[in-house]
Structure 1
Amino acid sequence: MTTTVSAPSLPDAALRRPLTRRDLRTLGLSALGGTLEFYDFVVFVFFANVLGALFFPADMPDWLRQLQTLGIFAAGYLARPVGGIVIAHFGDILGRKRMFTLSIFLMSVPTLVIGLLPTYASIGIAAPLLLLAMRILQGAAIGGEMPGAWVFVAEHVPQRHYGMAVGTLTAGITGGILLGSLVAVALNTHYAPAEIHDWAWRIPFILGGVFGLVSVYLRRFLEETPVFQELAERKKVARELPVKTVLREHRAAIVLVALMTWVLSTAIVVVILFTPAYLQKVFEIPAKLSLQANLAATFTLTLGCAVVGWASDRFGTRAVMLVGWGGLFATTYLFYLGLPGTPESLVWSYALVGFFVGSIALLPIVGVRAFPPAVRFSGLSFAYNMAYAVFGGLTPVLISVWQKVDVMAPAHYVAGIAVLGFLIGLWPFASRGWQPRA
């Protein structure tokens, strides 16, 4: 039986209408911007070793250089909650569109600047400090972009296409990881290590910055969401600090989104980001093969997000949560227990688990509906970014320590989190969402 939930508040006729060309344009531009912005955020990790060599003293020990480079990368995650809360605050007061455009601008400019920065050999200690400053701005931007994109699209589309639209948008955002991986592979294929070290490392950052600024221009043609326009017309836009209202009146929604963020961050960090190095270190799988398998998994992740969104419209959120997270549990053990396997089995089993990682699209599908329109942006952004800062930061440390006593630690952790996602699917609030008081 299909579970019926209330989409972001719109008149009944608007909820039942078909997708229009304007809806498709909104979804397309939003997804494109999300792809480019997430690419800008993650491309750093693909060139972390090169950046470490260029932005720190040559005589610094390798372990310390790597630690400081990863510290600069992590600074982006630490800045997410602050940027997300501030951008969402004004998104609930001034409008979704303005902040939606601002977030991609705040990502594009620092990315472009990184591609143009002088290195340590040219300006000394100022080089890593400038790199750190740009990374903090990137983190603040991504903290506002993802919740903002989800809310913006969800409040534009009719109810019967709500899941498909949010899932497709999420597919576009995760496509940024795929794009970053493809660019890294292309550069390492066409340029020698010395060329990348000398100048070619700048290419992905400059391209990301330029295309991001083009996306800023294109977002000028988007319109404010009907939901916010209705709030403004009725003078029901948040008057007090929106996050204060969220903390006082919507604690169940905070818990729901935070727990689902734990599931999302674990699936992405462990399965997609952590596993390629794990394959090489633990099972001595060649780097080229592990990266090819990871590309397959990232592609099916992107596909899975879109399928999950479509299925939630067709079969209901609860059914998709149970099947999606149950499928992640099963395919996680199928993949990790089958290692190292053959090259063919590695690629197809990694791709299969990657498809079920696409169940992460359930977070925005559930999370947007968990908060009322007046504080929706702030509520989703606060819960998501705070939880991601905690769980996204602690997960690599936990896995690294656990792995010393159990080589299957990644499998057990992801499977355990999949069980949590399955149990959340049984929580009525997850599929019902926020309801106005009678």
Structure 2
Amino acid sequence: MFYSLQNLWIKRILEFILLGFFLAVMDAGCVEGKVYLDTITNPELAPFPIAVADFTSPQKMGGGEQEIARNINRVVVNDLVLSGFFRVIEPKDFPPQAQISRSFLDRSELEAWSGSGVDALVTGSFRVVENSLIGSFRLYDLVEKKFIKGTRYEGRVSEWRRIAHRIANEIVFQITGEKGVFDTKIAFVGNQTGNKEIYLIDFDGENLRPVTQNKSINILPRWTLDGKRLLYTSYMKRNPDLYAIDLESGKNYRISYRNGLNACPTWFRDSEGEKMILMLKRDNRSHLFLTKVGETSAIPITSGSASYASPSWSPDGRQIAFVSDQTGSPQVYVMDINGKNIRRLSYQGNYNVCPAWSPRGDWIAYCSRQGGSFKIFLTTPDGEQVRQLTQGPGNYEDPTWSPDGRYLAFSSTKEGGAAIYVMSINGTYQRRLTTFRGEATNPAWSPHLE
């Protein structure tokens, strides 16, 4: 992290503190202190001005290379804009004296940006060697006029989009101290073929592809911790069994097939290995069971005449958020991992479901029926603070967190049929991801994918 940009941002945020806004500065005593600047949750803070130059090539660019360069630029710029952190200045808006024709710049070339109001500059270079794409980016501090960070990437030409996302991730990390989520994907259920199948889509709404094509009913996708497999419930054998599919090989296998419901696994890893809590049918009710990954036995952690559903593990592995009708209508609760110390969280509305615990541990998102339609709310784990995130017509359901806890994906009918959307954790920057024919529901956000 570079000091002049830190100081500039600190000055800006301190000005906002005088007006009552929030500042979070961490690791200030380190040699390379990291400032966590969350313009997503503090939209009053002006986006960070950053210039992104056209990528160049050390060799004469052919038509194919020019197209790849334009595509990489487009994805990097789009990622930075979608993050909500940046105001991106593109080459057509560069100062006349600051035109860039190469990736490596010296101080005199950076001096041309003086007085421009731009704080950082990104340049890039790449070349194609047979079927390989070799590229790098460089990040410059335009306040102190110095080079900050450079990273080299190499992959297949077909992986240009992944390389672009990785560049954007590194830029976000250098500015905010936290990695971006541009390498992530969102799984969801779509019925565009007439059947409910599982699909994947990138964070930016591109690269849509089917995961299942079994012409059955496939619902409730969930990611494994390493992001290599998806678990989902399917009626392929006429019972709602739990399946796992390896996303690289496409191999599909059944992992839980007890009579009745097998669904909604939530994962945690500790010193004993990976554990999973899932919903299973017991005494004509749904209950929550704990199992170790790879084992067939399952230990019940709920019992009684009420139903228990939709488990979501806390990041520290000590608690579970879930839904139960033990007071009559479905409500959101939290309990310890052993099934004890049950506390009700939701009191607004008579129907509250779909809890999702933030990776940061500070919020639990859930759906609440308000005036005949569902809206998305946040509550702190102690239930002391409650915030409504979505408003307006239509239903807003199935919240799922990005791995950095900065965004939520959800399904909504606000524009007609159900589609997948993404928003910041204060409910702003809502954008639609899915546009295909048919409806899209049950989103599940992946961990970081390398």
- TM-score tier (shorter): under 0.3
TM-score by length of 2: 0.24
Structure with greater strand share of residues = 2
Structure with greater helix share of residues = 1
Higher relative contact order (CA 8 A, sep 6+): 1
